[in-house]
Structures are given as structure tokens and as C-alpha cells.
Amino acid sequence: MGALRGTEVIDLRTLSTAVGGDMLPEDMLGLIDMGEEGLRRVRSLLATADSQRVSNQSTQYVRPLSEIQLLPPLNPPRANVIAIGRNYLEHARESARVHGEEEAAPTVFTKAQTSVTGPNYDVPLHESITQEVDWEVELGVVIGRRGVNIRHEEGLNYVFGYTVVNDLSARDLQFSWGGQFFKGKSLDGFCPIGPWIVTSDEVSDPQNLGLCLRVNGETKQDANTSDMIHPVDDLVAWLSVGMTLVPGNLIATGTPAGIGMARTPPEYLKAGDVVEAEVESIGILRNRMVRSSER
């Protein structure tokens, strides 16, 4: 487990061992479970790292980001990914138009834990069962505290941090047999997350973040989280009504307009395509689409 500082990563467990500090958990879920105490330990270690860097004693726990293979920051999240559909006005309109429906309230569905993959990982197209793989850039919200029936004004207090989600979707599966959201959204590799988690104290306003998605460098989606119909605090409060949220839950908060399905003619991903999902103040989540036989 590490902390990103510019173009370098601080290996927190190695540093903790070197300075004789309290040992940290092996993964992010363990850190989230520790609550504020875990973050306090991390901040203390980073302060130690800063002081040791001044005295050139930092080589054993500092790694260049370029030399590190990043894993999914939640591997996997606790329970299925909780996903929100139709939470951006223009996307709600384009989806309703495609299906000849009236605009409706956001849809809640889940993506299987096994769909999660990490930054820079290849994603199989599963071409034997789908020919319509689509993209969706989303702000991911990581829950940090257990709660049920959370008040709207307390919603953000339950957020540990934020990440980037690409809610890849097999549209032909998603809308077949009367509607198969779970299956169409949950194929292996269809939930890239990352490239890391930014803690909530580093994001001053989750409702003012630019987000975009590019395919082979061409911008397909470009919006701002201010366009959400239901902001993050509302989503946390609403999802917790009668349903307990637990530390390590991941919420994918919905995607803006620009999905491939709604284009004329529709556009879908193919082998070799490089997809970059980006959220301001968090980072770029990059994945390459490949034939299943290439994995």
C-alpha cells in the first residue's frame, strides 16, 4: 500500500517498519476499516517521510510511479459495486430517446465484484456473447463509515474518498430478455477502477469536477459533476434508506451524455481501442480492449 506524492510513491508499510511505527493493513479495505485512526497513522508516516527525505534517508521506501504496476485500489470493493443510472440530465435524455421512454428517476443496479479490474489492465471484449461494448466514465465514491438512514446533510461525512470508474457495458446483453442490467454490466473486466483513491479531504467539492472519456485520443464524453441530477450527498443518503452502507462500498455515480449506444450510428469498442476515463483532481484510468483469446 502506498501514498502518491507527485511522480513518486511512498511505500507506507516499508516506511512503517523502518521507523518502528504502528503497522498498517496490507490493503485499502483494511485501512478504510480503521477509520480516522488509519488516516492519522498515514499522515504521521508521510510527515516522517518528508523529514527523512530532507536528510536523504528515503531511498528504501520511495518508488518512481513509472516503475510500479498499479492494482485496482479496491481489489475488490466490499460487496458488489453500487451503480447509478440516468444521473446526468443529458444522458437521461439520450437514454430515454434511444428506448422511446419518458425521462425517469435514476436507476440503481450493481456490478459484480468479479468485474473489477485495474488501471492499465487489458479488458477482454467477450466477443462470443456481445458485439456492443460501450463506455461510461463515472465518479466513484468510496464509503468510509457504516451507516443506515443517513441524513442528507451528513452524506459527505460517510465518504472515505473518490476514484474513477469506467462502467463498461455490453448493451446487447443489458437490454435483452426483458432487461439484464446485472449481466450486461458484470462481465469479467467490465469495471475498471483507479488509478488510485483520493481521500475526501483532498477534494473540496465533488460537485465541481470535470470528467471526460477518450477512445484512441478522441473525446467522447466531456462534462462536469455539477451536471448530476442527484449529487453525492443525496446519493449516499438515498441509498442508505433502509439499506446499510458499509466501509469499502463503492458507488458509481452515473455517467454524462456521450455514450456510444446513443450516437448516430451507434459506436462500440473494438480490439485495440485504448479507453481513457478521467476525472479532475483524481487522475486518468487507462485500459486497452482486447479479444478474449489474447488474454
At residue 55, the pLDDT reads 46
At residue 108, the pLDDT reads 92
Interatomic CA distance for residues 126 and 268, integer angstroms: 13
Lowest mean pLDDT of 14-23, 150-159, 170-179, name the range. 14-23
Question: Exposure of 25 by Cβ count < 10 A (0-12 exposed, 13-18 middle, 19+ buried)?
Answer: middle
pLDDT at residue 105 is higher than 80: no
At residue 38, the pLDDT reads 93
3-state secondary structure of 237: helix
In one letter, which amino acid is 19? V
Interatomic CA distance for residues 160 and 32, integer angstroms: 7
- Residue percentage of the chain with pLDDT more than 90: 75
Per-residue b or e along 66-105, where b marks 16 or more CB atoms closer than 10 Å to that residue's CB: eeeebbbbbebbbebbbbbbbbbeebbebbeeeeeeeeee
Name the nearest CA neighbour of 254 among 141, 154, 117: 141
At residue 15, the pLDDT reads 87
DSSP secondary structure string, 1-55?
-EEEETTEEEEHHHHHHHHT-PPPPSSHHHHHHTTHHHHHHHHHHHHHHHHHHHT
Instruction: Determine the average pLDDT of the residues in 93-119.
Output: 78
Lowest mean pLDDT of 9-13, 123-127, 160-164, 291-295, name the range. 291-295
- Could you check whether the bond before residue 247 is cis, i.e. omega within 30 degrees of 0? no
3-state secondary structure of 140: strand
List, for residues 242-252, the tens digit of each pLDDT value: 999 999 999 99
3-state secondary structure of 62: strand
> For 112-190, where are the E strands, in sequence order?
116-117, 122-124, 133-134, 137-143, 159-166, 169-170
Map grid coordinates 471484449 to a residue.
125
Q: How confident is the model at residue 177 (pLDDT cuts 50, 70, 90)?
A: confident
Contact 144/28 with Cβ under 8 angstroms? no
At residue 117, the pLDDT reads 98
At residue 130, the pLDDT reads 96
List, for residues 202-223, the tens digit of each pLDDT value: 999 999 999 999 999 999 999 9
Which has more confidence, 264 or 101? Answer: 264
Q: How confident is the model at residue 293 (pLDDT cuts 50, 70, 90)?
A: confident
List, for residues 265-287, the tens digit of each pLDDT value: 999 999 999 999 999 999 999 99
Question: Which grid coordinates are listed for 211?
Answer: 470528467
At residue 295, the pLDDT reads 62
Structural domains for the chain: 2-67 (no CATH), 81-294 (3.90.850.10)
At residue 121, the pLDDT reads 97
Q: What are phi and psi of 279, to 5 degrees?
A: -125, 130
pTM score above 0.85: yes
Which has more confidence, 88 or 114? Answer: 114
Interatomic CA distance for residues 230 and 108, integer angstroms: 12
> Across the chain, what does the average pLDDT equal?
91
CA angle 270, 273, 277 (to 5 degrees): 120
Map grid coordinates 450486461 to a residue.
184
In one letter, which amino acid is 170? A
Interatomic CA distance for residues 143 and 74, integer angstroms: 11
List, for residues 2-17, the tens digit of each pLDDT value: 999 899 999 998 888 8
Instruction: Determine the average pLDDT of the residues in 52-60.
Output: 58
